[in-house]
């Protein structure tokens, strides 16, 4: 009897120590699922998903607090990628969060800008350059088109312009093929 209790206790102690060691030795830094989800999000940092940025939204998805259809800039492609990753059914974009729009770029009308710095504070990726009572301008390469700079502007001098295609960014489109007899297949 005593031997049995003793041996089992020793066993439990040994296994407990092994597990404790493993927990410290093989600790995973951060949540890999959050990183994976974050990598699929467009990083617009617009907050339309109701979370303050892409990473917080990724965390919310990983914790099961948010659905996968709340990202308008990512649109259908992102929803499908998330559905693949999380092994869920893709669903249409939640209209409460917004609608999928073509990519745009913020442009400040430098004649109207009064240099209030409010947009600089609102920009989630530091893509606006300027100082108090100095003209502000958007660094085009770094603008994600999140539109967060629009509401704080007191003089309404920021416009969202669609990104125009030039021959450097142009790509071939899928051939428009009339599949004859497709229905016969």
Q: Which residues bind another protein (CB under 8 A)?
A: 38, 41-45, 53-55, 124-127, 142, 144, 165-175, 177-182, 185
* Residue (96 or 182) nearer to another protein, CB: 182
The distance of closest approach from Cβ of residue 75 to another protein in the complex, given in angstroms and rounded to an integer, is: 12
Phi-psi map region of 41: left, alpha, beta (phi>0 left; psi -120 to 50 alpha): beta
Q: In this structure, are residues 123 and 140 in contact, taking their beta carbons and an 8 Å threshold?
A: no
* Residue (25 or 181) nearer to another protein, CB: 181
* Residue (124 or 152) nearer to another protein, CB: 124
* Residue (5 or 177) nearer to another protein, CB: 177
The distance of closest approach from Cβ of residue 151 to another protein in the complex, given in angstroms and rounded to an integer, is: 18
* Residue (107 or 125) nearer to another protein, CB: 125
Q: In this structure, are residues 128 and 140 in contact, taking their beta carbons and an 8 Å threshold?
A: no
The distance of closest approach from Cβ of residue 162 to another protein in the complex, given in angstroms and rounded to an integer, is: 15
**DSSP-assigned states of every residue in 107-155:** EE-TTT-----HHHHH-TT--EE--TTS--EE-GGG-----TTTTT-TT
The distance of closest approach from Cβ of residue 67 to another protein in the complex, given in angstroms and rounded to an integer, is: 21
Helix (H) or strand (E) holding 82: helix 75-86
């Amino acid at each position: 009897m005593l031997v049995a209790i003793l041996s089992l206790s020793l066993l439990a102690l040994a296994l407990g120590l092994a597990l404790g060691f493993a927990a410290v030795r093989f600790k995973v830094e951060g949540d890999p699922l959050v990183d994976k989800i974050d990598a699929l999000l467009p990083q617009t940092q617009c907050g339309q998903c109701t979370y303050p940025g892409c990473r917080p939204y990724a965390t919310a998805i990983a914790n099961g607090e948010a659905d996968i259809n709340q990202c308008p800039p990512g649109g259908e492609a992102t929803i499908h990628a998330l559905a693949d990753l999380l092994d869920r059914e893709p669903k249409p974009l939640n209209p409460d969060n917004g609608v999928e729009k073509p990519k745009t770029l913020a442009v400040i009308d430098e004649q109207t800008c009064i240099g209030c710095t409010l947009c600089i504070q609102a920009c989630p990726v530091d893509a606006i350059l300027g100082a108090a009572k100095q003209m502000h301008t958007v660094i085009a390469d770094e603008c994600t088109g999140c539109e967060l700079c629009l509401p704080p502007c007191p003089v309404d001098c920021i416009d969202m312009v669609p990104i125009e295609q030039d021959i450097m960014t142009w790509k071939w489109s899928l051939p428009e093929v009339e599949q004859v007899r497709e229905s016969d297949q």
